[in-house]
Homo-oligomer: A and B are copies of this chain.
Amino acid sequence: MTHAPTPTGLDAVVDALLASYDRDSGDTPLCNPLPSRESIAEFFERVRRLLFPGFYVDVDLPAAGRRYHVGTWVCELHGTLSRLLRLAFAHEGPDRDPEEVRTQARAVSFAFVQGIAPLRDALLQDARAALEGDPAARSIEEIILTYPGFQSIMAHRVAHALFKAGVPFVPRAIAEHSHERTGIDIHPGAEIGARFFIDHGTGVVIGETSSIGDNVKIYQGVTLGALSVHRRLAGSKRHPTLEDDVVVYAGATVLGGETVIGRGAVVGGNAFITHSVAPGARVVGGSPSEERR
């Protein structure tokens, strides 16, 4: 152990780091910059500001001029997202033409921006479902302002739109940004229908090939997972299907790509399910058929 840094001591540290950076240059972490976590978080903040102005960050929206402010936010969002996507697409390989990457980034970004008003309407439906599903909820504003499950579905619908557009890195990073805050881990690939509601939410895991219908309700600690993690399964449907109007109570586990929870079925707390459940059925866990919150 050297007792205090000397110029020589520092040089050795720096040399070792540079060597380490270069050693994995096959993986190119340093040569080709990725969109950073910081910039992805900034993008998501811009989305939230545009979707629900005044709920997450303070805004000053004068009545007469709100059109200009909203337009400016749209431009800024498009600018931020285009930059992110350019970095993300460029990282796909050294043979990509920069001009083509730029065009693709702008096109995907503008398509996203064009989808933002419909996205807002879908999210308001999610918020209304939460208001109906939680006796403690007092207003739709409270849900938009405070519910982690609402934050989670907001992040998912944003990430999923980019996932479907074939964007690398960014969708997953948005999902993890939300996972960090809510404790809810939804893979950006999961298909989720309208009016989705997760209550409490900490510990929820929803796998990549899950498929969820409309009006589904899920509580904390629920896993929609795979029966196996063999690499050869990548790409196949490994996670369950939940049809419309399903409810899954806290701590339940539903596994397998061929497992279907039929329309209107209820999965009890802590239940462990690896086979399909008939529509309208009620499956209990290792304990009485309670519902809890």
A interface residues with partner B (beta carbon < 8 Å):
1-7, 9-14, 16-21, 23-24, 27-30, 33-34, 36-39, 50, 52-62, 64-72, 74-75, 78-79, 91, 103, 106-107, 110-111, 113-114, 116-118, 120-121, 124, 132-136, 138-142, 144-148, 168-169, 172-173, 175-176, 179-183, 185, 187, 189, 200, 202-203, 205, 207-208, 220-221, 223, 225-234, 238, 250-251, 253, 255, 269-270, 272, 274, 285-288, 290-293
Q: How near does chain B come to A58, taking the closest CB pair, in angstroms?
A: 5
Once the chains are docked, how many angstroms separate the CA of A10 from the CA of B113? 9
- A148 adjacent to B179 (CB under 8 Å): yes
- B54 adjacent to A10 (CB under 8 Å): no
Q: Taking CB as reference atom, which chain B residue is nearest A60? A: B79
Q: How many copies does the complex hold?
A: 6
Q: How near does chain B come to A33, taking the closest CB pair, in angstroms?
A: 5
- B203 adjacent to A179 (CB under 8 Å): no
- A287 adjacent to B272 (CB under 8 Å): yes
Q: Which residues of B contact A253 (CB under 8 A)?
A: 250-251, 269-270, 292
- A10 adjacent to B74 (CB under 8 Å): yes
Once the chains are docked, how many angstroms separate the CA of A240 from the CA of B217? 23
